[in-house]
């Protein structure tokens, strides 16, 4: 794989301390922090200690990745959207430089972090203990906040220091709102996005949709997967170190860093951010197994061990985050009996039980792959395709039992709103994060299922719960990357 970046001046590298960096006098938080897994009484704060205050220059050298067959030692040509299961991997940087100097990267450092927090507008701070962050764990520490007050705005300061003798910690501030209790009726705004690729940026600070979403002041945000793309671009991630490099350069982008320190986030995984396109539990690529990919995803997002989960956000909203990879039949492309599973029988049973137990006014199902579609005939990785038709019909019939239920899907690179003709289940496709990452369908070929179809552009989805004299309403909206509403429906 050729390095597409122009040569990097060694003198500049030395000046910036990118060549064989010595122990710095202080530490930083170039990738910011994330506020995750928030409930009415608790929250987790993902922190990361970095060597420098900002990402490496984007035009610094990129790592050159090579793969060789284990049996023969012959070189293997790396291509996008592929896996390389029986290979030995080598990673090259220019002489005197290591992976920590790679373009856009933000290498970890050893240090300590803690979180100070308080109800906004009050004087008294609470704080978590200082905890050690190790380079071997990518400088990451997750702090747990407890005994929060429901539906309350909190201020945060995340501090990073080298050690107990460091009297000038790096401070970063942020805010979030705890969830309302299940019997609390109040306005709610949320945003959902998917499919962000480092090579498809559209804003000087990263991605335009992040300031656009922030302007809506969402109570929470969900990324439905493909948070990074290990298997695309000039640096294919085939080792743990390269995988971490993908995460660091993405979240060191200013628009992402600023958004995540001020908004609650929930992360779902899909395929590109675990290993490679259409991967399943039996997949291996380079030095990474599927299990390695899951472990790294949890490390980088503080996602819980059980990926499928549900949460309430007040009286009127319950959200389900469905897991689309862990439970699927490993060789699902084979049409066989019994029919292959995508969500797995245990997860489907859990979904049925929790839907039936819900007392929320509105039920929202977030899925990494479509349930309704339609999808392209050359794909076979979701419930809109023939390979999962048997289970897909079962799922749509299950969802159709419940009023005020909406499916929101990631993964597809165009926006649509569709209705299943057999069950009337409706599905909203968010579309990709940027126009440059869009594709897969043409607006001139809508299907009868489509109520709305927009292709060739990026964007996100927002939802707004508004209490009324008799209950509550839900408005769903599809936006372009700058936040303009391109379609809306009132539920």
Chain segment 284-319, per-residue pLDDT in tens: 999 999 999 999 999 999 999 999 999 999 999 999
- Give percent of the chain above pLDDT 70: 93
36 and 267 in contact (C-beta within 8 Å)?
Answer: yes
Q: Does residue 334 register a pLDDT over 60?
A: no
User: Within the chain, how many helices (H) and strands (E) appear?
Assistant: 7, 26
Two structure tokens written together for 211: 């300031």
Of 24-28, 426-430, 450-454, 482-486, the range with the lowest mean pLDDT is 24-28
String of b and e for 410-448 (b: at least 16 CB within 10 Å)?
bbbbbbbbbebeebebbbbbbbbbbbebbeebeeeebee
Task: Please give the full DSSP string across 238-269, using - where no structure is assigned.
Answer: -SHHHHHHHHHHHHTSHHHHHHHTSSEEEE--
Averaged over 341-350, what is the pLDDT? 96
| One fold for 25-54+110-177 and 188-225+307-490 | no
Q: Does residue 42 register a pLDDT over 90?
A: yes
pLDDT in the model for residue 380: 86
Cβ atoms within 10 Å, residue 475: 15
pLDDT in the model for residue 18: 47
104: left (phi over 0), alpha (psi -120 to 50) or beta: left
Q: Does residue 104 register a pLDDT over 60?
A: yes
Averaged over 358-368, what is the pLDDT? 98
- Give, rounded to a whole angstrom, the gap between the first and last alpha carbons of the chain: 50
List own/partner pairs for 73-78 with CB under 8 A and 24 or more apart.
78/1, 78/236
Cβ atoms within 10 Å, residue 339: 17
Mean pLDDT of the chain: 93
**Domain extent listing, the chain:** 25-54+110-177, 188-225+307-490
CATH number of this structure's domain 25-54+110-177: 2.60.40.10
pLDDT category, 8, cuts 50, 70, 90? Answer: very low
Averaged over 68-90, what is the pLDDT? 97
Max Cα–Cα distance, the chain, nearest Å: 73
pLDDT in the model for residue 11: 41
pLDDT category, 336, cuts 50, 70, 90? Answer: low
pLDDT in the model for residue 315: 97
Residue closest to 26 by CA, chosen among 47, 45, 53, 54: 53
**Pure H helices in 331-441:** 345-357, 389-399
pLDDT in the model for residue 337: 66
Query: Given 3.30.830.10, 3.60.21.10, 1.10.3720.10, 3.90.228.20, which CATH number is that of 188-225+307-490?
Result: 3.60.21.10
pLDDT in the model for residue 333: 54
Q: How far is CA 439 from CA 127, 278, 337, in A?
A: 47, 17, 34
d(CA 475, CA 371): 21
Averaged over 445-472, what is the pLDDT? 96
Instruction: State the number of CA atoms in the 13 A half-sphere of 112 facing the CB.
Output: 15
d(CA 273, CA 317): 28
Averaged over 89-102, what is the pLDDT? 96
Residue 353's SS3 state is: helix
């Amino acid at each position: 794989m050729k390095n597409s970046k122009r040569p990097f001046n060694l003198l500049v590298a030395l000046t910036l301390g990118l060549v064989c960096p010595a122990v710095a006098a202080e530490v930083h938080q170039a990738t910011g922090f994330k506020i995750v897994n928030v409930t009415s009484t608790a929250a987790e704060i993902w922190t990361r200690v970095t060597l420098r205050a900002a990402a490496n220059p984007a035009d610094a050298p990129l790592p050159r990745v090579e793969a060789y067959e284990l049996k023969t030692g012959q070189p293997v040509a790396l291509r996008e959207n592929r896996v390389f299961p029986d290979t030995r991997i080598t990673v090259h940087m220019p002489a005197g430089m290591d992976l920590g100097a790679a373009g856009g990267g933000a290498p970890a450092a050893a240090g300590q972090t803690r979180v100070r927090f308080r109800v906004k507008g009050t004087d008294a701070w609470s704080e978590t203990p200082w905890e050690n962050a190790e380079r071997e764990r990518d400088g990451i520490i997750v702090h747990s906040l407890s005994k929060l007050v429901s539906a309350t705005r909190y201020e945060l300061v995340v501090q990073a220091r080298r050690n107990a003798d460091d009297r000038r910690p790096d401070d970063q501030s942020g805010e979030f709102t705890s969830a309302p209790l299940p019997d609390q009726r109040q306005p709610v705004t949320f945003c959902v996005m998917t499919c962000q690729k480092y090579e498809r940026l559209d804003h000087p600070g990263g991605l335009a949709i992040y300031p656009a979403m922030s302007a809506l002041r969402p109570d929470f945000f969900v990324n439905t997967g493909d948070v990074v793309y290990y298997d695309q671009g000039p640096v294919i991630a085939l080792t743990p170190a390269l995988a971490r490099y993908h995460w660091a350069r993405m979240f060191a982008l200013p628009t992402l860093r600023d958004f995540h320190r001020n908004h609650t986030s929930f992360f779902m995984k899909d395929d590109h951010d675990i290993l490679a396109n259409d991967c399943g539990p039996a997949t291996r690529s380079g030095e990474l197994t599927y299990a390695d990919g899951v472990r790294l995803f949890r490390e980088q997002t503080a996602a819980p061990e059980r990926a499928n989960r549900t949460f309430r956000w007040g009286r009127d909203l319950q959200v389900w985050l469905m897991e689309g990879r862990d439970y699927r039949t490993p060789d699902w492309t084979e049409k066989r009996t019994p029919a292959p599973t995508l969500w797995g029988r245990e997860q489907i049973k859990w979904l049925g039980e929790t839907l039936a137990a819900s007392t929320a006014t509105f039920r929202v199902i977030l899925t990494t792959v479509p349930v309704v579609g339609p999808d392209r005939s050359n794909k076979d990785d979701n419930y809109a395709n023939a390979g999962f038709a048997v289970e897909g019909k079962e799922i749509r019939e299950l969802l159709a039992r419940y009023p005020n239920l909406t499916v929101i899907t990631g993964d597809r690179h165009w926006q649509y709103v569709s209705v299943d003709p057999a069950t009337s289940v409706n599905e909203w496709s968010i579309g990709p994060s940027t126009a440059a990452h869009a594709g897969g369908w043409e607006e001139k070929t809508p299907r009868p299922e489509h109520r709305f179809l927009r292709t060739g552009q990026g964007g996100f989805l927002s939802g707004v719960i508004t209490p009324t004299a008799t209950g509550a309403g839900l408005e769903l909206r599809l936006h372009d990357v700058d936040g303009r509403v391109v379609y809306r429906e009132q539920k």
